[in-house]
Structure 1
Amino acid sequence: MLIHPWDAGTEDQALAYVKDNQFGHLIAAGRGRDVPVVVPTQFLLVDDRTVWLHLARPNPIWPAIEENPAVLLSVAGPWAYIDGRWRAEPGTDPALGVPTTYYSSVQLTCRAEIVADPEGKLEILRAQLGDLEPGHGDPAAMPRLLSGLQGLRLAVTEIRGKFKYDGHKDAGVREQVARGLTERGGPGDEAALRHLA
């Protein structure tokens, strides 16, 4: 992912974003494949360097991880198309403004460890359920569930965050964009406005 200096987030900003958006795409390249395996998945950021998740046993990602445990977890949030007229420099022809898209994206490069033992899978499930659905019954009482899945522990080795909201533009352009987003009120516009503020 291309990250310009004005779009770069700090590690703390990136981790806060991931904590608030614990759904992404797990990508495993494997070895000698034409394309990587990409799996949309819920996950739990356990701490700054650890992610846990579980997937169904028939998932096609398992062989790719066995071939190569280096994986990428990609998290991207709401996006908003930014009309070129909004980004025109003040005093210039609005038709010459360059359109773009605002968005947040964090990529975690990780080393994956497959968890197949029942106790390890239970630990992951209990942690995920405790975060998402406190008070849910104990997954140990669901043997079919346990036998039908495997867990993953991801050790985070690199964190890259991009928050593309025209951080390099002057206040006049940013105000024009904010007016356009407010007037349009489309999907993703509210999130973009929060970032602009």
Structure 2
Amino acid sequence: MYVPRAFAVDDIKILHQQMQASPLPVLVTHASQGLLASHVPMLLNPDEGPCGTLYGHLARANPHWQDLAQGTEALVIFAGEQAYISPTFYPGKADHGKAVPTWNYLAVHAYGMAEVFDDAERLLALVSRLSDRQEANRPAPWAVSDAPADYVDSMLKAIVGFRLPITRLQGKRKLSQNRDARDQAGVRQGLLANPNPQDHALAHLMVKE
């Protein structure tokens, strides 16, 4: 990922927060089957390894897990809030006209080589944690144990789990840091005037930068 210094994020805690706020990242590999990408819910253990470790699973019918099993390097893309930035947001445009459209966004790229596993006990623990995380705020949370045991066993046979220790992290927060204070204020105002919640989220993040 191209990351100009003005947009780079090096604080691992901030990177982990962004990853945990993006629960459906994209897993990408380039190995014997060519370029493959899968959208996969993942769990991050921030305390396992210097950069953390990711856990997830793929359908056994999805050939992507075979590339992971070969030991190829994987890229996991965590996309955050994003918004179109119109040149009309910049007050400076009225002075010199030197403005073009751009896009503000948050992104984290995690790299590493995964190990795959298919033992039922380990898979059950993984899918239980994934479900518990997503169900936590529901008034009547569903749990894997609510399903019949034989049905769960059959579902576990249809997936392959993976553990991916992160060897490298890249973070990017493109929030108009390369513009002067007046233009940054114009971008915030322009984003807040739009109805999209992501635009509002980005505007509030700019205040925190």
Partner of 1:50: 53
Once the two structures are superposed, the pairs formed by residues 29-178 of structure 1 within 5 Å of their partners are: 29-31=30-32, 33=33, 35-48=34-47, 49-87=52-90, 89=92, 92-93=95-96, 95-134=97-136, 136-138=143-145, 141=149, 142-178=152-188
Once the two structures are superposed, the pairs formed by residues 181-196 of structure 1 within 5 Å of their partners are: 181-186=191-196, 188-196=198-206
Matched residue of 1:63: which SS?
helix
Give the drift of 1:144: 1.2
Of 132-141 and 163-172, more deviation after overlay is shown by: 132-141
Identical aligned pairs, as a percentage? 25
Give the number of equivalent residue pairs. 194
Matched residue of 1:36: which SS?
strand
Matched residue of 1:3: which SS?
coil
Contact 1:88 1:173 in 2 (8 A): yes
Q: Deviations over 1:62-120 (max 9, x none)?
A: 22223333111101122100001223536624x43121101000001022010111122
Distance 2:45 2:172 in 1: 22
Partner of 1:2: 2
Q: Structure 1 counterpart of 2:192, which letter?
A: T
Contact 1:80 1:187 in 2 (8 A): no
Contact 2:56 2:162 in 1 (8 A): yes
Distance 2:148 2:36 in 1: 30
Tell me how large the CA RMSD over aligned residues is. Answer: 2.0
Contact 1:110 1:154 in 2 (8 A): yes
Contact 2:91 2:182 in 1 (8 A): no
Change (3 A) 1:176 1:92: same
Distance 1:164 1:186 in 2: 18
Distance 1:41 1:88 in 2: 41
Structure 1 unaligned blocks of 5 or more: none
Distance 1:84 1:90 in 2: 7
Matched residue of 2:186: which SS?
helix
Matched residue of 1:128: which SS?
helix
Q: Structure 1 counterpart of 2:35, which letter?
A: P
Q: Deviations over 1:146-189 (max 9, x none)?
A: 11111111111111110000113221110111121122333521
Distance 2:134 2:200 in 1: 25
